[in-house]
A and B are shown apart, each in its own frame.
Chain A
Amino acid sequence: MTGFWYILSAYLAAWAIFFFYSATVGRRLTRLEAEFRRLKERAARD
């Protein structure tokens, strides 16, 4: 297939950015969920 490497690199670049972005959103969500749990526990304690 001519231009195979161009097609493959474009395809992989697209997926790499999608995964990287989803991972950053996931990481931020996990951190906030942990913070929310911590605050809720503190509220229950107080």
Chain B
Amino acid sequence: MKGKEGTWRLAWLATAIVLGLAGYAIFFVAPPELRQGNVYRIFFFHVAIAWGAFLAFFISFFGCIGYLASRQQEWDWLAVSTAEVGLAFTTITLIIGSIWGKEIWGVWWTWDPRLTTAFFLELLYISYLMLRVMIVEPDRRAMVSGVFGIFAFLDVPLCYFSIVWWRTLHPQPIIGGAPGTGLDPRMWYVFLFVLVGITALMVVMIRERYRLEALRRQVGVLAAELEERAAPDESKGVTA
């Protein structure tokens, strides 16, 4: 157990170092962009964090399916942990995207298909977490939120492909986009570095959140045991 904790502490440390270096690379290694100048540097963490959010929601989707198929609580813990981390990542994506939009578009927000579907994604996962708060019984909570989690995930591909399917203000994909688009090799290296750092951050955050869910279960079991032990004594007290 101690060894495992030590490994996770090392993982946190390694993540912090990679992200620190990534921050340096964003500001000082990546060259300026031809049309946007320096503001494009927001792209590095905006895209990487959005990727982290999508990945987290994807794992949450599997957690929901896993629970509904097996009825094992561990799948539900995974689903809620990843949904919450994904929600934090989506919030950041929306905020920093809006800061970029203010400089490039001149407005903080516009009801563009990508922005709207991303905003819905935020609302859907807030609803998912609120739904869980409202249901006390663990199995029922896991089942209802599992079904809702699958429904919420449907917005992820919609959000991802919105810039391909509809005419949007949001930039078209640069990575894997149309012919003639792409990144300068130095930008690529910086982007991959940031992507590795953000993915590692997502993993350590999910693990921490999962630990919370597992501990909550342990507390629940122990509290129920104590209540059960106390109950016969109480009934004895009543009959006496």
Given the known A-B contacts A3-B103, A33-B215, A36-B215, are A17 and B223 also in contact in the complex, defined by CB atoms under 8 Å?
no
Q: How far is the CA of A6 from the CA of B118 in the complex (A)?
A: 21
Instruction: Give the contacting residue for B37; candidates A2, A17, A22, A32; CB below 8 A.
Output: A2
Chain B: interface size category: 35 or more
Interface majority SS on B: helix, strand, loop or mixed? helix
What number of A-B contacts does a CB cutoff of 8 Å give?
87
Residues of B198-228 whose CB lies within 8 A of A? 201, 205, 208-209, 211-212, 215-216, 218-219, 222-223, 225-226
**Of B41, B46, B100, B226, which is within 8 A of A39 by CB?**
B226
* Cα(A19)–Cα(B209), bound, Å: 14
CB 8 Å contact bits of B24-48 with A (1 = contact, 0 = none)? 0011000000000111011001100
With A3-B37, A14-B92, A46-B229 in contact, is A9–B99 under 8 Å at CB?
yes
Number of interface residues of A (CB under 8 A): 28
CB–CB B212/A29 < 8 A: yes
Q: What distance in Å separates the Cβ of B40 from its nearest Cβ neighbour in chain A?
A: 9
Q: Which of A9, A10, A46 contacts B226 (CB 8 A)?
A: A46
**A39 in contact with B223 given A6-B102, A13-B99, A17-B88 (CB within 8 Å):** yes
Whether B39 and A11, one on each chain, are in contact in the complex, defined by CB atoms closer than 8 angstroms, is: no
**B residues adjacent to A (C-beta < 8 A):** 23, 26-27, 37-39, 41-42, 45-46, 49, 85, 88, 91-92, 95-96, 99-100, 102-103, 201, 205, 208-209, 211-212, 215-216, 218-219, 222-223, 225-226, 229-230
14 A/B residue pairs, CB under 8 Å, sorted by A = A2-B38, A3-B38, A10-B99, A11-B96, A13-B95, A18-B88, A22-B205, A25-B205, A25-B209, A25-B212, A32-B216, A36-B218, A39-B222, A46-B226
A: residues with CB less than 8 A from B are: 1-4, 6-7, 9-11, 13-14, 17-18, 21-22, 25-26, 28-29, 32-33, 35-36, 39-40, 42-43, 46
